Amino acid sequence: MEFESEEAAKVFYDAYATRVGFIMRVDAFRRSMRDGKVVWRRLVCNKEGFRKLRPRRSENRKPRAITREGCKAMIVVKKEKSGKWVVTRFVEEHNHQLVPIPTNGRRSILLSQTPDEKDVKIRELTAELQRERKRSAAFQEQLDMVLREMEEHSNHLSRNIDDIVQSVREIESKQVAS
């Protein structure tokens, strides 16, 4: 299959996931070395992989429910030179029970998620927001550097112009004196 955009692939797989009975999660991606745009994306079942074991920060926090079950269901799309997004990998099999949402009583994905799944989604979006903030800060730093360079160059040119004007005045005053 091929799609006009990455977003179209996401919308398609999300609709497919809803119809089949699982929740789609946007997983890994790769960026172009040339322009930094996303050129490869993996969309997975929200039960893909396993949660990393991290030491608990606080003893009074309740342990989270296990939501990751190592499911392998996924779709991988890649941007071709033509600009189209092509499916390069599709894994249909799930290792857990599916819960299709009836087409006549479609609920929103958020309503069908458990509180723990909502927490996972919030953490994923928060992590993505932090990554974008870091990128934005890096871009701001680069922009500030370019602006400083331009200001230094402008000051240098102003000094050169002042020196030239001063030299011309000296030459003119010598010519008038002679």
Q: What is the pLDDT of residues 125-161, one digit of tens each?
A: 888 888 898 888 888 989 999 999 999 999 999 999 9
Whether this prediction's pTM lies above 0.85 is answered by no
Average pLDDT over residues 56-62: 66
Average pLDDT over residues 22-28: 87
* In the chain, alpha helices (H): 6-20, 109-112, 115-177
Q: How confident is the model at residue 171 (pLDDT cuts 50, 70, 90)?
A: very high
Average pLDDT of the chain to the nearest whole number: 83
Q: How confident is the model at residue 85 (pLDDT cuts 50, 70, 90)?
A: very high
Q: How confident is the model at residue 106 (pLDDT cuts 50, 70, 90)?
A: very low
Average pLDDT over residues 107-131: 71
Report the range of poorest mean pLDDT among 37-51, 64-78, 131-145.
64-78
Q: And the tokens for 31?
A: 């960026």
Tokens 């994306």 label which residue?
A: 41
Percent of the chain with pLDDT over 90: 32
Going edge to edge, which strands form the sheet with 38-45?
2-3, 85-91, 74-79, 38-45, 24-31
Q: And the tokens for 20?
A: 């089949």
**Is residue 56 over pLDDT 80?**
no
Q: Determine the Cα–Cα distance for residues 73 and 110; give it in Å rounded to an integer.
A: 20
What does the pLDDT read at residue 101?
Answer: 63
Q: Determine the Cα–Cα distance for residues 78 and 39; give it in Å rounded to an integer.
A: 6
Average pLDDT over residues 51-76: 73
**Is residue 107 over pLDDT 50?**
no
Q: Determine the Cα–Cα distance for residues 55 and 145; give it in Å rounded to an integer.
A: 40
Average pLDDT over residues 38-47: 90
Question: CA nearest 6: which of 20, 31, 21, 23?
Answer: 31
Coil, helix or strand for 146?
Answer: helix
71 in Cβ contact with 94 (< 8 Å): yes
